[in-house]
Chain A
Amino acid sequence: MEQENVSPVKGTSLWKDAWRRLLKNKLSVFGMIVVILIVLAVIVGPAIIQATTGFTPDYIPSDKGSEFVKSFPPSLQHPMGTDDTGRDILARVLQGGRISLMVGVISTLVSLIIGVSYGAVSGYFGGRIDNFMMRVVDILYAIPYILIVIVLLSVFGGGNTPGFIKFFVNLFGGGAGLGQIFLLFFALGLVSWLTMARVVRGQVLSLKNQEFVLAAKATGVRTFGIIFRHIIPNVLGPVIVYATLTIPQVMLSEAFLSFLGLGVQAPYASWGSLAADGIKNIAIYPWQLIFPGVTMALTLFSLNFLGDGLRDALDPQQRKF
C-alpha cells in the first residue's frame, strides 16, 4: 500500500464535536455560565458569608431593630435584606438553593436511572414485553403526578419514613426534616421517569435494528453488553437533553409543593418555602419574595437555555426552524 504523507488524525469523539457546537450558541453559553455561578455560589456562598459577616442562614440577631420591625430592606450589610426574624435573606437563599438544586439533580438522576433502564429493556425486547411495559407507563401517565407525590409525601412523611430513606438520612447525619427532603427526591423522581422511558424506548427501537447491533451480536456479545455498551451510549444525546430539561421541571414542582407546605419544611428552606414565607408580607416587605423568586426564575431560565442549546448541539438533525 502506498504510504501517504498525512499527519495522524487524532480521535475526535462526538462529544467534542457537540461541545464545539454548544459554544457557538450564545444563549446557552450564557445559561451555562449562570448555572455554574449559581451552583458555585450555593456551594461556597454560605461559608463565605459566615466568614466575612458572621451571618448564618439561621442566625437571629437579638440586638437589631425595634421589637416590631426586624425585616430590613436591602443594604450593603444585607444585599437581599432580612426576613421577619432578622435573618439574612442572601444566606437563606443560598442555603435554600442547595436544597432546591439537590432536589432537581437527585430527582432527575432517580428518574434517569429508572427511565433509561426501563425504556431500554422495553424497546430492546419488544413484542409483548414492550407492549405490557408501555401500558404500565400509559396508566401511570393518566394519574396526575402531583397527586401521587402528595399521597407519597403524606403517607410516608413524618414517622412512616421507609427504611431505605432512613438509611440515606443517616448517611447525611440524620435530622427529621431531612427525611422529608429525601422522600421528596424519590417521590419526584418516581413520577418523572415516564417521559424518559418513552424517549429512550423510541430511540432503542430504531437502534436495535442497526447493523452495528447485529454485528455486535455476531461477535458473541451478551445481551447485557449490547444494551449497555452498544445501545445506551447511542441514546445518551437525547437522554442528556431531556435530563437537563427535567431538572428545572422538577425544581418547579418542588417549589410548588414547598409553597403549599408539603415539601421542604423548617428548619430547612428551599426557594419554594422561602417564597411561601415571603408572600405573607408581600405588601410591606416585598424583598422577602422578590429575591428568592428572581433567583429561582434566573436559574430555571438558564437551565432551559442550556437544555435547548444541548439539544441543538447533540442532535443537529432535529433542529427546529
Chain B
Amino acid sequence: MENRNGSILSVKDLKTYFQTEDGVVKAVDGISFELKKGETLGIVGESGSGKSVTNLSIIRLIPTPPGKIVSGEVVFDGRDILKQTPEEVRKIRGRRIAMIFQDPMTSLNPFLKISRQIGEITELHLGHTRQQSHEHAIKMLTLVGIPDPESRVDNYPHEFSGGMRQRVMIAMALSCEPEVLIADEPTTALDVTIQAQILELIKKLREETGTSVILITHDLGVVAGMTDKIIVMYAGKVFEQAPTGELFATPANPYTKGLLKSVPDPAHEAGEPLYQIPGLPPDLAHLPPGCPFEPRCNYAQEICREQFPPFVQINENHHSLCHFAEQVYAESQAEGGVK
C-alpha cells in the first residue's frame, strides 16, 4: 500500500542531534507522527522544544555540521526523503513541500522585486517563462488578498508591511500548489489583528487547495481553531498527541495541562496572577535519565526521576508520555475538561 490510510507524510522515530561544545544536544529525539491528505496538524511547545528542527529535518535543511539527522524515516508519498539524493530533495522543496517562516521581515530578499521572488520558484519548478511567472505572481498576490497586485508585484519587500509580507510569503509557498505546507510560527512576528487575518487566510487557502498543513506555534489559541490534531512537544519528544478537541477537553499529560492552564482566560479574575508552569525548560545537552519535565511537574514522584516515562495509549488516537497518564486523563475527565 503506497498511502496507508491516505497519509501523505509520515515521520517515524526521527532523531536530529546537534554536536556542540557542551555535548550532544538532542533537539529532536524520536518523533513520530502522520499527516493525512488535507489534514492540519498542530505542533505546540515552548521555545527550544524542537518544533522548528523537526520541520527543517523533514525537508533536510538542518545545517550540517553541527546538526545531524541521526536516525528515522520521513516517508513522503511512499519514499523516504532522508534516503533520497540532495537533487531529488531539492525538487521536492518548494514544489511539493513548501514552508512559511516565522519572521516575514527577514525572510524576503531585500534586493529582489516581489515578482522575481515568486517568479524564481515557478520558473524553477514549473518551467515558467518570465512572462508566465510574472502573470502567475500577480495571480498569487490576488489570491492572498494584496490590493492592486498588478503594480504591487513590482515593489520591493521593504515597501510592504509585516502582515503583507507574510501574505507574500504565503503566496510564494503556495505558488507551486504544494501537497504539504509547513507554517513555522507564521503569526509570531505579527500583531494580534493581523494574526487573525493570516490564520483566516491559511485556513481559506487550505480549504480551496486541499493542501495538508503542519502548523507550528507556541500559541495554543492559534491551533485551537485551525487544526485536526495536535502534537505537544517538550525537550525534543512528543509528550502528548491527540485530536484537537480531545486534547483541549481531556489532556492526559501534566505538561499539556499546565500549558492549557496558562492560557489567559477572559473569565479570569482581575488582579489574580496568571498560572504559569514553574521553572525553565531543561538543558538539552544534559538531560536527566528520568522524565525531562519532572523538576517542573506537580505530579512528580520518585519513579519520574529514575525512569523514562512510557508512551501510554489512552485510546486509538490519543497518546501521552507520562508515568501517570491514566491518572491525569481520569482527573481531566472528572474536571469536565479544562476548557
Name A residues whose Cβ lies closer than 8 Å to a Cβ of B: 1, 3-4, 8-14, 127, 210-212, 214-222, 225, 229-230, 233-234, 236
A14 touches B110 (CB 8 A): yes
B269: chain A residues within 8 A (beta carbon): none
Kindly identify which residue among B108, B120, B155 contacts A225, using a CB–CB cutoff of 8 Å: B120
Q: How far is the CB of B294 from chain A (nearest CB, A)?
A: 35
Instruction: Say if the beta carbon of B323 comes within 8 Å of chain A.
Output: no
B106: chain A residues within 8 A (beta carbon): 210-212
Residues 115-153 of B contacting A (Cβ, < 8 Å) = 120-121, 124-125, 145, 147-148, 151-152
B148 touches A8 (CB 8 A): yes
Provided the pairs A3-B147, A220-B93, A220-B121 are in contact, do residues A215 and B101 lie with their beta carbons within 8 angstroms? yes
Query: Can you list 16 A-B pairs with a CB-CB distance of less than 8 A?
Result: A1-B147, A9-B155, A10-B151, A12-B159, A14-B156, A215-B101, A216-B120, A217-B93, A219-B98, A219-B172, A220-B92, A220-B93, A220-B94, A225-B120, A229-B120, A233-B109
B155 touches A11 (CB 8 A): yes
B109 touches A234 (CB 8 A): yes
Nearest B residue (CB) for A210: B106
Q: How large is the interface on B (under 10, 10 to 19, 20 to 34, 35 or more residues)?
A: 35 or more
Instruction: Say if the beta carbon of B61 comes within 8 Å of chain A.
Output: yes
Instruction: Say if the beta carbon of B103 comes within 8 Å of chain A.
Output: yes
Q: A216–B228 Cα gap in the complex (Å)?
A: 29
B110 touches A127 (CB 8 A): no
Q: A304–B117 Cα gap in the complex (Å)?
A: 36
Add 11 more A-B contacts to A4-B147, A214-B61, A225-B124 (CB < 8 A): A9-B155, A10-B155, A127-B65, A211-B101, A211-B107, A216-B109, A218-B101, A219-B173, A220-B95, A220-B121, A221-B120
A220: chain B residues within 8 A (beta carbon): 90-95, 121, 124-125
Q: How far is the CB of B205 from chain A (nearest CB, A)?
A: 14
A11 touches B111 (CB 8 A): no
Q: How far is the CB of B67 from chain A (nearest CB, A)?
A: 13
B112 touches A233 (CB 8 A): yes
A13 touches B156 (CB 8 A): yes
Kindly identify which residue among A12, A14, A219, A229 contacts B94, using a CB–CB cutoff of 8 Å: A219
Nearest A residue (CB) for B103: A211
B148: chain A residues within 8 A (beta carbon): 8
Q: A78–B56 Cα gap in the complex (Å)?
A: 73
Instruction: Say if the beta carbon of B53 comes within 8 Å of chain A.
Output: no
Q: How many A-B residue pairs have CB under 8 A?
A: 95
Nearest B residue (CB) for A127: B65
Kindly identify which residue among B59, B61, B91, B107 contacts A212, using a CB–CB cutoff of 8 Å: B107
Nearest A residue (CB) for B154: A11
A234: chain B residues within 8 A (beta carbon): 109-111
A221 touches B124 (CB 8 A): yes
Nearest A residue (CB) for B106: A211
B94 touches A9 (CB 8 A): no
B113 touches A11 (CB 8 A): yes
B91 touches A12 (CB 8 A): no
Q: How far is the CB of A279 from chain B (nearest CB, A)?
A: 48
B172 touches A212 (CB 8 A): no
Provided the pairs A211-B103, A220-B95 are in contact, do residues A8 and B109 lie with their beta carbons within 8 angstroms? no
B121 touches A215 (CB 8 A): no
B109 touches A230 (CB 8 A): yes
Most B CB within 10 A of own CB, among A12, A14, A219 = A219
A211: chain B residues within 8 A (beta carbon): 101-103, 106-107
Kindly identify which residue among B65, B94, B111, B151 contacts A218, using a CB–CB cutoff of 8 Å: B94
Q: A215–B110 Cα gap in the complex (Å)?
A: 13
A11 touches B159 (CB 8 A): yes
Q: How far is the CB of B15 from chain A (nearest CB, A)?
A: 21
B120 touches A212 (CB 8 A): no
Provided the pairs A8-B148, A11-B154, A220-B92 are in contact, do residues A215 and B99 lie with their beta carbons within 8 angstroms? yes
Q: A314–B169 Cα gap in the complex (Å)?
A: 27
Residues 25-81 of B contacting A (Cβ, < 8 Å) = 59, 61, 65
B90: chain A residues within 8 A (beta carbon): 220, 222
A219 touches B121 (CB 8 A): yes
B120: chain A residues within 8 A (beta carbon): 216, 219, 221, 225, 229
Q: A221–B94 Cα gap in the complex (Å)?
A: 9
A11: chain B residues within 8 A (beta carbon): 113, 154-156, 159
Q: A234–B92 Cα gap in the complex (Å)?
A: 27
A218: chain B residues within 8 A (beta carbon): 59, 61, 93-94, 98-99, 101
